[in-house]
Structure 1
Amino acid sequence: MTRTTGRALGWNIARAVAAIAIVVAVVAQFVSSASGAAAAGRDVTTTVANFFSFFTILSNVSAAIVLVLLALSFVRRRAAGPEVDPPALATALAYVSTYMIVTGVVYNLLLRGLPLQPETVGWSNEILHVWGPLFLLLDVLFGSGRRRLPWTAALGAAVFPIAWIVYTLLRAPLITNPTTGAPYWYPYPFLDPNTGGWGSVVAYIVVIAVTIVALAFGIVAIGRARGIRMPQTSPA
């Protein structure tokens, strides 16, 4: 085993471990949220739907899936080579890295001081908002097998957040908050026009959208600087 191969193996093991930690954290929080709702007599179905409507949860689940697939892909291609991430997985990794880093930044800048719900699992909350995003940041900076992506790949990172925002703003007024009984439910206070008005909501959306696209371009730039150029159909 060469030094490069050994490093790649170690990093992909770390990816698998990080994915497992994220999955365990998500499951622990899900069980706590669902059981807490049941014990309090709240609508469990709505609580579960709300749980999977958080950008944090969707980002972490997506990141765990991509990390596992990358680790499995590395195991399959070790014998044949080359030790570089496949194009689709490399693109997916750039996207989930963007979402996870944004999740960490937004939580620690805007939400860190807010009181936690009684059902919140403390260690799970830290994995989902701090350690998971930190690992994805380290993967961008030091992860092995990085493939050079075309600049246009960064634009695709905006598709999921835009779809999520549209879904959230359309769904929120139709949902009764299972905890407070309010005739709406927004996953994050900065998206709630009932507290800060639509001007504030739009401002936050614009800032976060610009941040996501800028960060995605930064991640692609780092990947192009660190990565390996492989023959591919897409222009680089």
Structure 2
Amino acid sequence: MRALFGILRIAGVVAGVAAMVGQLITTYNKWASLGIRNLSGVFVNFFSFFTIDSNVGAVVVFAIGAVLLLRRVDDPRWFAILRASVTAYMVVTFVVYNLLLRGIELPQGTTLPWSNEVLHVVAPLLIIVDWFFAPGRRRLEWRELRIIVAFPILWVVYTLIRGPLAYNEVGKKPTWYPYPFLDPSLSPEGYFSVAFYVILIAGVILAVGAGVIWVSRRGARWPLRAIA
């Protein structure tokens, strides 16, 4: 079991890195073809997407997790919290993309289809399966939900502060937001619409984070025994 999930985690690292590098190269080439000179903005914008940040976290978790499994070491508590947090973020990425963003062109210039599916579907499903069934999962306390929700809160604050200050080179707009539901100029209700989506997604993150912790606390009952 450990060897199998060790291999799956290595596959997750390879797939995640390939998908992110492929999309970054595609975006960079698109900007260059349009004659955009501020190519450094590609990198800042690219790593301002919650999807990319979550997948970077997933690659890190898969890499560390593969080493732990192959060395037959159970999850240290710090890694268990990191793994739970990233699992929650990837679930939210999967849900939000497939409910709100599928088929919508995002402001990175152009979308690489296979990379898009890996980042929004394949990698989240892989980390969900890993959380349920990979050996070594540690039992978490409910108070650790505060840690899980900390990064999404910081990301929203960063995004809403940076949005009016960033310039959308592709769309030639004086603002840049990674997702259309966070852009107040795209809705007649402005920031009321943004607040609605922020609250909605915050609720999803809390629910998913609680679900991730709940799974860890099922102990020997389901699906695999967690360590204390």
The question of a shared fold, defined as TM-score above 0.5 by the shorter chain, is answered with: yes
Aligned partner of 1:34 among 28, 35, 38: 28
Q: Which amino acid aligns with 1:58?
A: D
1:68 aligns with 2:58: no
Question: In the alignment, which residue of structure 1 is the partner of 2:158?
Answer: 167
Counterpart in the other structure of 2:39 = 44
Q: What is the 5 A alignment of 1:73-92?
A: 73-76=68-71, 78=72, 83-92=73-82
Aligned Cα root-mean-square deviation (Å): 1.4
TM-score scaled by structure 2? 0.92
How far apart are the structure 1 equivalents of 2:211 and 2:137?
14
Write out per-residue CA displacement over residues 10-58 of structure 1, whole angstroms, 9 at most, x where no aligned residue. 1121011112101110001011111211121122111221011000000
Distance in 2, Cα, partners of 1:204 & 1:35 = 32
Cα distance in 2 for partners of 1:194, 1:137 equals 35
Q: Which residue of 2 aligns with 1:228?
A: 226
- Match of residue 123 from structure 1: 114
Is the partner of 1:84 in helix, strand or coil?
Answer: coil
Instruction: Tell me if structure 2 keeps the 8 A contact 1:19–1:64.
Output: yes
Partner of 1:3: none
Match of 2:192 among 188, 191, 199: 199
Letter in 2 for 1:98: A
Match of 1:97 in 2: 87
Picking from 134, 143, 148, the partner of 2:139 is 148
Report the Cα offset of residue 74 of structure 1: 2.4
Correspondence for 2:102: 112
Amino acid at match of 1:228: A
Contact 1:148–1:227 (8 Å) recurs in 2: no
1:118 shift after superposition: 5.9
Deviation at 1:75, TM superposition (A): 2.7
Shift of 1:114: 1.6
Aligned AA (1:172): G
Measure, in 2, the Cα distance between the counterparts of 1:35 and 1:114.
20
CA 1:221–1:106 in 2, change beyond 3 Å: closer, same or farther?
Answer: same
Q: Percent identity?
A: 43
Q: Show the counterpart of 1:4.
A: none
Asked if the contact 2:92/2:205 (under 8 Å) is kept, the reply is: yes
Unaligned runs of 5+ in 2: 219-223
Instruction: State how far apart, in whole Å, the 2-side matches of 1:153 and 1:202 are.
Output: 25
DSSP-derived class of the 2:217 partner: helix
Residues 140 and 213 in structure 2, CA contact (< 8 A), matched pair in contact too: yes
Where do 4+ consecutive residues of structure 1 move more than 6 Å? none
Q: Equivalent residue for 1:15?
A: 9
- Indicate the residue corresponding to 1:176 in structure 2: 167
- The alpha-carbon deviation at position 113 of structure 1 amounts to 2.6
Matched residue type, 2:214: A
Work out the CA distance in 1 between the residues paired with 2:7 and 2:43: 31
